[in-house]
Structure formats: C-alpha cells, structure tokens
Amino acid sequence: METQDASEGEDCPFCAIANNQTDTEILLSDDDLFCFRDMKPGATHHYLVVPRTHIDNCKSLQADDVPLVERMVEMGRSVLEKNKVMDMNDFRMGFHLPPFSSVPHLHLHALAPASQMNFKSQLHYGPQSHWFITVDKVLSQLKTCGKVK
C-alpha cells in the first residue's frame, strides 16, 4: 500500500486530527487508529475509524493490509458498543469507493442502526451503492485477489 506518515499529509484533515491539530473529539484511539463522529451522520450512530498513517483509500490496500482492516472493524464495533448500540446485528461498516471519498485518507464508516437509515443514507452507504463497499467485501477481495476491485 502507498502510505505516508501523517505529518506528511499537510492538507489532509484526517492527518491533522491524527496530529491533534484540531478540536475533534477522539472517541477511541490506539497507536495505529483513531475514531471520531462523522460530521454529516448517515445514521443515529455514525463513526469513522481512521489509520494514523496516511493511506489514500480502500483501493490502495493490499493483501498484507487484512490485519489493519480487521483492527479497524474491531474499533468500529467497540465504539458502537461503547455508545450503547442495542442491536449489534443491525449495523453497517464499509468504505466509499474512489472517486466518491470525501476525504482522500482511508476511513471506515461504522453506522447503526442500518435498518433505520433514510433513503439518502442508503444511497451513500448501502450495500448496493456504486459509491460504497462493505468491509466484508473489502476483506474478501483482499484475501482472494490481493486488492480491492
């Protein structure tokens, strides 16, 4: 994958958050990832899980990035649980496909409850959307093809 240190992504808003240069409230974090609320939520609970290292988008991922994506999923599940999402079977996680990424820095959307997302949110984050790919599809493609199609 093409990566760069977050300090090199000068114009990237997520790199600025990673470097504590904004007042964005970080809900969960570790040495490699951080999580915060989406500015324009598509569901009652909508969080972004972002790697501290700048990775452009899901198409930049390769087979050896499977553990990173799995850790992103773990953090997404953790933030949903921490925020008392009642039905942990009613959520959606995934990535926007380029060129539909609003920020060119890899970020996993964790949304719940998926069953209550409105029509517009379904267009943006639906499993049948041309703009969005579920994390399950990303992991499957990385494991079988070594890249996201």
3-state helix, strand, coil in the chain (%, to 5): 35, 20, 40
SS3 category, 116 = helix
Residue 58 sits in a domain whose CATH number is 3.30.428.10
pLDDT tens figures, 32-89: 999 999 999 999 999 999 999 999 999 999 999 999 999 999 999 999 999 999 899 9
Number of domains in the chain: 1
**Catalytic residue set:** 107
pLDDT of residue 127: 87
The domain containing residue 74 runs over which residues? 3-145
